[in-house]
Amino acid sequence: MELTGQVMTFVITIMTGMLLGVLFDCYRVLRGTFSPKRLVTWFTDLLYWLVATAIVFIALVFSNWGELRFYVFIGILSGLGVYYNWLSLYAIRLFSKTIKLIIAGLSLLKKIFIGAFLKPGRYCMRLVSRPFMFVGHKATTWYRTRWPKPPDDEK
Q: Work out how many domains the chain is built from and give that number.
A: 1
| pLDDT exceeds 80 at position 6 | yes
User: pLDDT of 82-116, one tens digit each?
Assistant: 999 999 999 999 999 999 999 999 999 999 988 88
Domain assignment present for residue 48? The answer is yes
Domain assignment present for residue 19? The answer is yes
pLDDT at 113: 86
pLDDT at 1: 66
| pLDDT exceeds 90 at position 142 | no
Domain assignment present for residue 103? The answer is yes
User: pLDDT of 44-76, one tens digit each?
Assistant: 999 999 999 999 999 999 988 888 888 889 999
Residue pair 33/42 in contact by the 8 Å Cβ criterion: no
Domain assignment present for residue 69? The answer is yes
Q: What is the DSSP string of 51-104?
A: HHHHHHHHHHHHHHTT---HHHHHHHHHHHHHIIIIIHHHHHHHHHHHHHHHHH
Cα gap 75→60, rounded to integer Å: 11
Domain assignment present for residue 133? The answer is yes
Domain that holds residue 125: 3-146
Domain assignment present for residue 80? The answer is yes
Domain assignment present for residue 90? The answer is yes
Share of the chain above pLDDT 70, in %: 94
pLDDT at 86: 96
Domain assignment present for residue 123? The answer is yes
Cα gap 16→54, rounded to integer Å: 11
Closest by CA to 75, choosing from 123, 129, 12, is 12
Three-state secondary structure call for residue 155: coil
**Section 13-29 average pLDDT:** 96
pTM value is 0.72
Q: Give the torsion sign (CA, 68, 61, 12, 83).
A: negative
